[in-house]
């Protein structure tokens, strides 16, 4: 007999999740409850991460890969376990994970080391980025072009916030050596079809990098499915500590790339005449690494993996739709990227209201958002603005947060007009 009983899934309970984040229960400016909507800049940290870091410092603090003592061995095991946890989280091999300070250092590492590997062959070649890139995925490639004689090509952004893929097809040709693209725009919230763009790069014989700083927390990531040569992200947007990030690089590519920095650990032998370098990924981790950060990142991933990701995605999607709907109801409001689905991020301007003034007055009411150019000045110019207000959500964001945001925003707009 066929069981036709409908299975009812419990909705995601963000309110109960908040109890694991001590900072979310605090007040600001005396007694105003904090409403934190600046998650695209950095997320808050759960007790699981805070406690893991404290336990490390209480029991296992030592330098890694060198000490011949018990505590050093414990620290090394924790650090390398973190590398394994990260690899599993994004569908990579352990030897393809390089720990960095964050997304910015990951891109700079690739730009510097890959360009050194390529050498003079880059003269007359092209590097492709998009018009919506963060400065961290623009400036390093400009530096490569200045140093090597390569040229920078930029894929246009449409008025609705999407990438012009037809324009991309004209730019990614046989002269291109590298394509570096953002997965989810930190300003627009738009999700780019990185699989298609990486496929274009591969067909052209070019390498590809995906900036996953925003996507890593809002959708499951598998680097093999994406088909990129490199993928970078920061821990602090994934409920992990600041100062830790990840560079995924295809093992066969990393092994060909020279070191990014020189120092301890990244060598096998040193004489005044010659130095031999360690294998990847250790080759790219000169000096004492951020052990605390790596251990905290592993704790964050383990904690995050206990959540039902499909329910988290549904929750964030519903909140995004509601946040956009609330914003669109305000007279004179202009949303950047009006024709796209926003991955938990909304950047907007309101006629007659300066973004900085808006941010200051919202803060006085306990609502934390971000204002400015969001390190995307070329994108700001594309849309004819100098700055925007940006609200962004996380798994712990609630409808009550958005109620408070909407009420404070309407009150502030009336004050400023």
State the angle between helix axes of 399-416 and 355-364 in degrees (0 to 180), rounded to the nearest 10: 120
- Known catalytic membership, residue 375: yes
C-alpha 275/C-alpha 286 separation (Å) is 14
Going by DSSP bridges, is the β-strand pair 207-211/176-182 parallel, antiparallel, or unpaired? Answer: parallel
Helices (H), 373-398: 377-382
Which two three-digit tokens encode residue 67?
């000490």
C-alpha 179/C-alpha 206 separation (Å) is 7
C-alpha 47/C-alpha 69 separation (Å) is 30
Going by DSSP bridges, is the β-strand pair 345-350/388-392 parallel, antiparallel, or unpaired? Answer: antiparallel
| DSSP code per residue over 289-335 | --HHHHHHHHHHHHHHHTS-HHHHHHHHHHHHHHHHHHHHTSTTEEE
> Positive or negative, the Cα torsion across 405, 411, 415, 417?
positive
CA angle 214, 216, 217 (to 5 degrees): 80
Q: Which residues are catalytic?
A: 375
């Amino acid at each position: 007999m066929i069981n036709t009983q409908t299975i009812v899934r419990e909705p995601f309970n963000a309110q109960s999740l908040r109890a694991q984040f001590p900072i979310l229960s605090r007040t600001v400016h005396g007694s105003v409850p904090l409403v934190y909507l600046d998650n695209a800049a950095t997320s808050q940290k759960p007790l699981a991460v805070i406690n893991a870091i404290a336990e490390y410092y209480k029991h296992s603090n030592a330098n890694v890969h060198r000490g011949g003592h018990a505590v050093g061995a414990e620290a090394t095991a924790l650090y390398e376990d973190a590398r394994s946890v990260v690899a599993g989280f994004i569908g990579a091999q352990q030897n393809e994970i390089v720990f960095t300070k964050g997304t910015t250092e990951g891109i700079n590492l690739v730009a510097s080391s890959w360009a050194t590997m390529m050498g003079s062959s880059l003269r007359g070649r092209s590097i492709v980025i998009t018009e919506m890139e963060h400065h961290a995925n623009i400036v390093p490639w400009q530096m490569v072009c200045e140093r090597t004689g390569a040229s920078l090509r930029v894929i246009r952004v449409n008025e609705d916030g999407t990438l012009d893929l037809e324009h991309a097809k004209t730019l990614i040709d046989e002269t291109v050596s590298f394509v570096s693209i953002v997965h989810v725009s930190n300003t627009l919230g738009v999700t780019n079809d990185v699989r298609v763009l990486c496929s274009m790069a591969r067909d052209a014989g070019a390498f590809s990098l995906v900036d996953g700083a925003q996507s890593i927390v809002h959708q499951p990531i598998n680097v093999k499915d994406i088909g990129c040569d490199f993928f970078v992200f920061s821990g602090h947007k994934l409920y992990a500590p600041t100062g830790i990030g990840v560079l995924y690089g295809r093992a066969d590519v990393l092994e060909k790339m020279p070191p990014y920095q020189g120092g301890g650990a990244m060598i096998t032998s040193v004489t005044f005449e010659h130095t031999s370098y360690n294998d990847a990924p250790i080759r790219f981790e000169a000096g004492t690494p951020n052990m605390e950060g790596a251990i905290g990142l592993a704790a964050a991933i383990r904690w995050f993996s206990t959540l039902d990701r499909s329910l988290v995605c549904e929750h964030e999607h519903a909140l995004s739709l509601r946040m956009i709907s609330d914003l669109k109801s305000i007279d004179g409001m202009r949303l950047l990227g009006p024709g796209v689905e926003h991955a938990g991020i909304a950047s907007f301007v309101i006629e007659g209201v300066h973004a900085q003034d808006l941010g200051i007055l919202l803060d006085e009411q306990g609502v934390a958002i971000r204002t400015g150019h969001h390190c995307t000045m070329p994108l700001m110019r594309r849309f004819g603005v100098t700055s925007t207000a940006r609200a962004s959500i996380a798994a712990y964001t609630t409808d009550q947060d958005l109620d408070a945001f909407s009420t404070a925003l309407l009150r502030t707009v009336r004050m400023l007009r």
